[in-house]
Amino acid sequence: MTSFRVVRSKATPLRLKNASVLTDRIRQLMEIIWKDSARVFVEEFSKDILVETGESVGSLEPLARFVGASLRFRAGPKDRKRRSLNPRTGVPTSRIRSFASGVQLGAKAFRFRFEKTKFVFTFSIPVYQLFLQDTGRVRLPDARAEGASVRALQKQREAAQKEFRRRIVPLIGEWLATGRVKTSGN
């Protein structure tokens, strides 16, 4: 009687007994795609931020670190400090605005949540001046800052859709055609 020994490498397709292996692989890829698209959001949004003290762009730093993004802000000092003004009275307060204060504010400004069928990325603008720039409620010498978050979200959506078509659609097609899915690779 002849016996057979099955040897698999990481690139060898794995026979699926059910769809759970495919589902797990899609979920892993979706988490990667979601983080990559958030990286696009940070890079696109940060390039249109006007830098005065660095607090606004600093508020993106924790998210940028989390998703591996580079902040692409325009010229301006990252280390300049200025007293914050009370928005109602215009009187200086004891709060100092700086890149470091932006980083502190940004630490809790974003959230990623990966559930079974839902992937959520939330970013709340934690710096009032950035909110004013983005919504166009303050006159700026450069109009690129107005609506920057909306443009960045559009780029994020496009990036996620492109990666979904590139990475997941072929995986599903392969599984439907052969009942197999590769256990490694992108």
Q: Report the alpha-carbon distance of residue 54 to residue 64 in Å, rounded.
A: 15
- Is the pLDDT score of 178 beyond 80? no
% of the chain exceeding 70 in pLDDT:
70
Residue 60 within any structural domain of the chain: yes
Q: Which residue has the higher pLDDT, 99 or 30?
A: 30
pLDDT confidence of residue 99: 82
Is 2 among the domain residues? no
**Could you tell me how many helices (H) and strands (E) the chain has, helices first?**
7, 6
Q: Looking at residue 159, what is its pLDDT?
A: 92
Report the pLDDT value the prediction gives residue 36, as an integer from 0 to 100: 92
Alpha-carbon span 41 to 37, nearest angstrom: 6
Q: How does the average pLDDT of the chain come out, rounded?
A: 76
Which pLDDT does position 81 carry in this prediction? 56
Q: Does the residue 104 lie in any domain?
A: yes
pLDDT at 77 over 60: no
- The answer to whether position 108 is within a domain reads yes
Question: What per-residue confidence (pLDDT) applies to 115?
Answer: 82
Place 73 in a pLDDT band, splitting at 50, 70 and 90. confident
Confidence of residue 165 (pLDDT cuts 50, 70, 90): very high
The reply to whether 23 falls in a domain is yes
In this prediction, residue 64 carries a pLDDT of 93
Q: Is the pLDDT of residue 87 over 60?
A: no
**pTM attached to this predicted model:** 0.71
Q: Is residue 4 part of a domain?
A: no
Q: What is the pLDDT of residue 11?
A: 45
Residue range 95-106: average pLDDT? 82
How far apart are alpha carbons 133 and 135 in whole angstroms? 6
42 in a domain, yes or no?
yes
Is residue 22 in a domain? yes
Residue 154 pLDDT > 50, yes or no? yes
Which residues span the domain enclosing 152?
A: 15-182
Confidence at residue 181, expressed as pLDDT on a 0 to 100 scale? 63
Q: What total of structural domains would you count in the chain?
A: 1
pLDDT tier at 3 (50, 70, 90 boundaries)?
Answer: very low
Whether 147 has a pLDDT exceeding 50, the answer reads: yes
